[in-house]
Amino acid sequence: MKKLAFIGAGSMAEAMISGIVESKLLTGEQIWVTNRSNQEKLDNLNQKYGVKGTYNLKELVEDADAVILAMKPKEAAIGISQIRSYLTEKTMLISVLAGVSIENIELLAEKKLPVVRAMPNTSATVGKSATGLAINSYVTERQQEIVQTIFETVGLTTFVEEKQIDAITGLSGSGPAYIYYLIEAMEKGAQEIGLDQQVAKQLIVQTLQGAAEMVATSSKPAKQLRQEVTSPGGTTEAGLRVLESFEVQKAFIQCIKEATAQSKRLGLALSDELYPVK
C-alpha cells in the first residue's frame, strides 16, 4: 500500500492514523486527510504524525489504495458524492460509519468497487479496539489482508457477515461507553463509602483489568466465574443481590439491543434520504 486517504479527521481517524504510523505500516507522508473546514485540525495532525492535509479532493483520492470514510454518518451522501468522480473500480472504500450499509455506499459511489464496512470502537485510541469487518464481493484477498492489517494496528479484528455489523455496533462499537458508565457508578459508590478518589480509581481500573484477563484466559464462562467468587452469605452475594433487585443485567441487555436497533435506524434513515417514497 502506497497511499491511504481519510475523509474526516475526528477522534477515530486520529486513533487510526496514530496506530498506522506508530506500527510503521505507513509513514505520515503516505497518509492524506481532509475534513469539512477545520484547517487547524489538519495542521495539528500534520504536526503530530506528518500526514498531508488537503481540501483538494482530487489530490486526496487520486492514486489512493484505500479511502477511509470517517465523517459523520449523516454526511455520507454528500461526502461520497464529492469524491465519486475521482474513484476507480480499484479504489477500496473503507467505512467506519455507523448504520451505513455497503449497498448504500456502492449506490452513492455509482461504481462497482471494493467496499469494506468496519465497526471499531474508541478504544482504538489506546490500541485496544474490537473491530468487526464486512466486505463486498469486489474486495480481493490482497485488499482483505490490507484492511485487516490497518485495523490490527489499533486492536483486534474479526470478519463477519454484514448483517452482524449492527449487532457489533450495539455490543462493542458502543461498548466502551457502557463500561465508562459502570466505572462512573463505581467511583460514586467509592466516594459514598469514604474512599479517596485516586485510590478508588486505581482499585477500580485494576479490578476491571483483572476480571477482563480472567475472562480472556479462562475456559470458564463469565457466569461460572461469578458464581465461584460468590460465597453464600458473603459480601459479594450481598452486593449482587442489590444489582439483581434493580435488574441491572436486564438493563444492560436492553441497552445493547437498543444500540443495535439505533444502528439499523440510522441505515434506514439514509436509505429513505436516498430513495424517498413518492
> Has this prediction a pTM greater than 0.85?
yes
User: Please, which pLDDT band fits residue 262 given cuts at 50, 70 and 90?
Assistant: very high
Long-range CB pairs of 251-258 (<8 Å, 24+ gap) are 252/178, 255/178, 256/170, 256/171, 256/174, 256/178, 257/170, 258/170
CATH number for region 175-260: 1.10.3730.10
pLDDT tens digits, residue range 172-200?
999 999 999 999 999 999 999 999 999 99
Mean pLDDT of 8-32: 95
User: Please, which pLDDT band fits residue 270 given cuts at 50, 70 and 90?
Assistant: confident
The distance from CA 93 to its chain's CA centroid, rounded to whole angstroms, is 16
Q: Give the cell for residue 230.
A: 460468590
Q: Give the cell for residue 107.
A: 449506490
Q: Give dist(CA 10, CA 277) in Å, integer.
A: 33
**The two domains 4-160 and 175-260 share their CATH topology (first three levels equal):** no
pLDDT at position 277: 53
What separation, in Å, do the N-terminal and C-terminal C-alpha atoms of the chain show? 44
Place of cell 467509592: 190
pLDDT tens digits, residue range 210-242?
999 999 999 999 999 999 999 999 999 999 999
The answer to whether residues 136 and 102 touch, using CB atoms and an 8 Å cutoff, is yes
User: Please, which pLDDT band fits residue 151 given cuts at 50, 70 and 90?
Assistant: very high
CATH number for region 4-160: 3.40.50.720
pLDDT at position 154: 95
Closest CA to 103 of 134, 65, 147, 149: 134
pLDDT at position 99: 87
User: Please, which pLDDT band fits residue 267 given cuts at 50, 70 and 90?
Assistant: confident
Q: Give dist(CA 125, CA 116) in Å, integer.
A: 21
All structural domains of the chain with their residue ranges: 4-160, 175-260
